[in-house]
Amino acid sequence: MEWFISVSDKWIRNILWLLFKYTIFKQHCIKNFSISDVSSDNWYRWHNGARCFLGNISGESIFIKSDKYLWRLKNECDKGKLFEKACPLSSVKVMFVSTDFNYSYIVFEYINSVTLSEIFSSDSSFTNWDFLAHKIVEIIEKLYSINLIHRDFTPSNILVSLDGNGRFTEVKVIDFAYAVTLGDEYIDRYIGHTSLMNLGQGFKLEAFVWDDAYSALNILDTIESKSGKSIKDYKVKLNSFIGRLKWVYKE
């Protein structure tokens, strides 16, 4: 019952927002940043004050993520840019952040892709799983080289692009909202206990401890079972990273 109430509560909030706030939001986008053709993206999945939209700036497709928490957008922007510098091919370009109190949102380039979790649950056959494993190891190497800990390194935060023949062509990491670099302890005070409990769930080292290489190793296990081929060398490489850079929540 509790589950039903919280799910329907989310739906009611989203529908009310679409009915009463959406038009003003679109006006804000066009007036302040010349963002046209704004449309909602999977609105039924919106949660926790965060909403996603598609749009267009000077003919370029963009992806908008709005959030009531400006600190989360700013952190996502800062950490996303840090990663972009180190690993441009596996990152999504952050364009800007709107810091307007009622209309805070972040704007990214739009990536025509699906998430790795969708790939994992799909029945389609894919041919170059090796490429995926290679890219994931490369991403971890880059994250470690700049002491950046993503903390939510899960299949739903990895975007994969495909060509028409079931071949993976690009792999990108998204959602740096909770990422940290050494010395960022203050961020955890904003997040709260429950969200920290859930962050990286199913892929993290242990409760309140994050190690992206460990999360990536879990992902490689699924790649191995989906492909039916050994990717031992990639797993050995990732194993050598585990324990080198981890984040422990200090209350």
Ligand X SMILES: Nc1ncnc2c1ncn2[C@@H]1O[C@H](COP(=O)(O)OP(=O)(O)OP(=O)(O)O)[C@@H](O)[C@H]1O
**With respect to Mg ion, which residue has the nearer C-beta, 50 or 209?**
50
The option from Mg ion, ligand X, none interacting with 50 (CB < 5 to 8 A, set by class) reads ligand X
Site for ligand X in 123-182 (CB under 6 A): 156-157, 174-175
Minimum distance from residue 117 beta carbon to ligand X (Å): 8
Distances (CA, A) of 19 to 9, 15, 24, 93: 15, 6, 10, 31
Q: Contact with Mg ion (CB under 5 A): which of 142, 157, 158, 214?
A: 157
**With respect to ligand X, which residue has the nearer C-beta, 24 or 44?**
44
Minimum distance from residue 29 beta carbon to ligand X (Å): 16
Minimum distance from residue 34 beta carbon to Mg ion (Å): 27
3-state secondary structure of 23: helix
The option from Mg ion, ligand X, none interacting with 126 (CB < 5 to 8 A, set by class) reads none
Distances (CA, A) of 98 to 3, 29, 32, 69: 33, 9, 9, 12
3-state secondary structure of 210: strand
Minimum distance from residue 7 beta carbon to ligand X (Å): 14
**With respect to Mg ion, which residue has the nearer C-beta, 117 or 227?**
117
Distance CA 213, CA 206 (A): 13
Does 40 sit near Mg ion (CB under 5 A)? no
The number of helix segments (H) and strand segments (E) in the chain equals: 9, 12
> Could you count the other beta carbons within 10 Å of the beta carbon of residue 28?
18
Spatial contact of 167 and 152, defined as CB atoms under 8 Å apart: no
What residue type is assigned to position 134 of the chain? H
x/- letters, 127..156, toward Mg ion (CB under 5 A): ------------------------------
Pairing assessment for the beta strands 103-109 and 60-67 based on DSSP bridges:
antiparallel
41 DSSP assignment? S
Residues binding ligand X: number (CB under 6 A) = 14
Estimate to the nearest angstrom the gap between the alpha carbon of 52 and the chain centroid. 12
Site for ligand X in 18-77 (CB under 6 A): 45, 50, 52, 63, 65
Site for ligand X in 93-112 (CB under 6 A): 108, 110-111
Minimum distance from residue 157 beta carbon to ligand X (Å): 5
DSSP string, 56-117: EETTEEEEEEEES-HHHHHHHHHHHHHHHHH-GGGBPPEEEEEEETTEEEEEEE----EEHH
Site for Mg ion in 166-195 (CB under 5 A): 175
151 DSSP assignment? S
Does 92 sit near ligand X (CB under 6 A)? yes
**With respect to ligand X, which residue has the nearer C-beta, 115 or 222?**
115
Applying CB under 5 A, the residues found at the interface with Mg ion are 157, 175
Binding site for ligand X (CB under 6 A): 45, 50, 52, 63, 65, 92, 108, 110-111, 115, 156-157, 174-175
